[in-house]
A and B are shown apart, each in its own frame.
Chain A
Amino acid sequence: MALLTSSAVFLWGFSVFPIIVSFTTIIIPFFSSLGLCKVYIDCLEWAFEFATNRIQQHDSRQDLNGNRGEQLPDNNAAALKDKNSVALIQEEERTTLKKVRSFGTLRREFELSDCYHFCRQGIEAIADDSVTKCFSAAELPSWNLLTRTNTHYEFVSMRLTILWVIGFLFRYCCLLPMRFILTVVSVNIFLMTTAAIGLMPNSRHKRHVSKYVSLMCYRILARAFSAVVTYHNKENRAKGGICVANHTSPIDVIILACDACYAMVGQVHGGFTGMIQRAMSRSEAHIWFQRSESKDRQAVSNRLKEHVSDPDKLPILIFPEGTCINNTSVMMFKKGSFEVGGTIYPVAIKYDARFGDAFWNSSKYNMIQYLLHMMTSWAIVCDVWYLPPMHRKEGEYAVEFANRVKHEIAQKGGLVDLLWDGQLKRMTVKEDFKKEQQKEYSKLLKVE
Chain B
Amino acid sequence: MGSRASLLLRQEEIEEIQRETGFSHNQITRLYSRFTSLDKSQNGALSREDLLRIPELAINPLGERVVQLFFLEGEDEQVNFRQYMRTLARFRPLDPSQKNDKEGVNSREKKLEFAFRMYDLDQDNRISRDEVLQVLRMMVGVNISEEQLGSIADRTILEADTDGDQRISFEEFCKAMERSEVEQKMSVRFLD
A interface list, Cβ under 8 A from B:
59, 62-63, 66-70, 72, 87-90, 92, 109-132, 136-137, 139, 146-154, 357, 361, 364, 373, 420, 424, 428-429, 433-439, 441-443, 445, 447-448
CB of B102 within 8 Å of the partner chain: no
The chain B residue with its CB closest to the CB of A60 is B25
- A–B Cβ pairs within 8 angstroms, 16 of them: A90-B189, A110-B152, A112-B173, A119-B62, A120-B188, A122-B66, A125-B60, A126-B51, A129-B55, A129-B56, A151-B29, A152-B6, A429-B58, A437-B60, A438-B143, A441-B61
- The answer to whether B160 and A112 have CB atoms under 8 Å apart is yes
Q: Is the CB of B51 within 8 A of A90?
A: no
Min CB distance B116 to A, Å, is 9
- Give complex CA distance A428, B22 in Å: 34
- Which B residues touch A361, using CB under 8 A? 1
A122 contacts B7, C-beta separation under 8 Å: no
A110 and B136 contacting across the interface, CB-CB below 8 Å? yes
Asked if A59 and B136 sit within 8 Å, CB to CB, the answer is no
With A88-B34, A88-B190, A437-B60: A113-B29 Cβ-Cβ less than 8 Å: no
Given A113-B177, A122-B60, A434-B59, the answer on whether A70 and B88 have CB atoms closer than 8 Å is: no
Shortest distance between the CB of A408 and any CB in chain B (Å): 25
Mark each residue of chain B from 31 to 52: 1 if its CB lies under 8 Å from any CB of chain A, else 0.
Answer: 1011001100000000000010
Given contacts A112-B156, A132-B38, contact A123 B66 (CB under 8 A): yes
Judging by beta carbons under 8 Å apart, are B139 and A129 in contact?
no
Contacts of A420 in B (CB 8 A): 55
Taken residue by residue from 115 to 158, chain B's Cβ proximity to chain A (1 for < 8 Å, 0 otherwise) reads as 10011000000000000100110011111100010011001100
A126:B58 contact, CB within 8 angstroms: no
Complex: how many Å from CA A126 to CA B67? 9
A68 vs B22: C-alpha distance in the bound complex, in angstroms? 7
Q: How far is the CA of A158 from the CA of B109 in the complex (A)?
A: 48
Size of B's binding interface in residues, CB under 8 A = 71
From residue A249, how far is it (CB to closest CB) to chain B in Å?
13
- Chain A residues with CB below 8 A from B155, complex form: 109-110
Contact of B192 among A70, A122, A137 (CB under 8 A): A70
Q: B135: which A residues are within 8 A, CB to CB?
A: 115
When the two chains form their complex, are residues A125 and B91 in contact, meaning their CB atoms are under 8 A apart? no
Number of A-B contacts (CB under 8 A): 207
Given the known A-B contacts A121-B60, A151-B29, A435-B141, are A448 and B151 also in contact in the complex, defined by CB atoms under 8 Å?
Answer: yes
What is the distance, in angstroms, from B95's C-beta to the closest C-beta of chain A? 10
Check A69–B60 contact: CB distance below 8 A. Answer: no
> Do A115 and B140 touch across chains, with their CB atoms under 8 A apart?
no
- Do B180 and A111 touch across chains, with their CB atoms under 8 A apart? yes
Residue of B with least CB distance to A113: B180
- Give chain A nearest CB distance to B87 CB in angstroms: 8
Do A126 and B88 touch across chains, with their CB atoms under 8 A apart? yes
Bound Cα distance from A435 to B58, whole angstroms? 11
CA distance A59 to B182 in the complex (A): 34
**Identity of the chain B residue whose Cβ is nearest the Cβ of A62 in the assembled complex:** B25
Residues of A within 8 A of B144 (CB): 442, 445, 447
B186 at the interface (CB under 8 A from A): yes
Q: State in angstroms the CA–CA spacing of A298 and B176 once bound together.
A: 60
Bound form: Cα–Cα A111–B7 in Å: 45
A118 to chain B, nearest CB (A): 4
Which residues from chain A contact B24 at a C-beta distance below 8 Å?
63, 68-70
Does B54 interact with chain A (Cβ within 8 Å)?
A: yes
Other CB < 8 Å A-B pairs besides A122-B63, A137-B2, 20 of them? A68-B22, A88-B31, A89-B190, A115-B119, A118-B60, A119-B115, A120-B91, A120-B188, A122-B57, A122-B60, A124-B56, A129-B56, A130-B56, A149-B2, A153-B7, A373-B1, A429-B59, A438-B143, A443-B143, A445-B152
Q: Which of A149, A429, A445 contacts B55 (CB 8 A)?
A: A429
Q: How far is the CA of A69 from the CA of B28 in the complex (A)?
A: 11
* Nearest 8 interchain pairs by C-beta: A438-B141, A122-B66, A442-B143, A125-B56, A113-B180, A442-B140, A148-B1, A151-B2
